[in-house]
Amino acid sequence: MATQAIGILETKGLIALVQGTDAMLKSANVEIAGPMTGVGSALVSTTIRGDVAAVKAAIESGSDAAGQHGEVVSAHVIARPHADTETIIPHSTAKRARK
């Protein structure tokens, strides 16, 4: 999958983030960029990657699902990020098995 966009979902509370992440992964062809990140003061975030349309659709559905279970602080899509942006995005160390 070519990384053409990055999506970030930030919520207050872990339950909302887990529900939102689950919805994002089920709704579009995206993958998690790295582990969940604790921001502090109960704020947590996750980052996804994929093509622009898939990331936009995933962030929208993830934000809706997370909003039903808690507070969404931020949901943002960065289309066609600069190559240097990769240096600050969390990276997954484990590769998922593809079927």
| 3-class SS string, 8-60 | EEEEECHHHHHHHHHHHHHHCCCEECCCCEEEECCEEEEEEEECHHHHHHHHH
SS3 (DSSP) at 3? coil
Residue 68's identity, in one-letter code, is Q
CATH of domain 5-83: 3.30.70.1710
Bridge partners of residue 40, in order along the sequence: 43
Average pLDDT over residues 67-87: 93
Summarize pLDDT for 26-68 with one digit per residue, the tens.
999 999 998 888 888 899 999 999 999 999 999 999 999 999 9
**Percent of the chain topping pLDDT 70:** 89
Residue 77's identity, in one-letter code, is V
What's the confidence (pLDDT) of residue 83?
85
Confidence of residue 99 (pLDDT cuts 50, 70, 90): very low
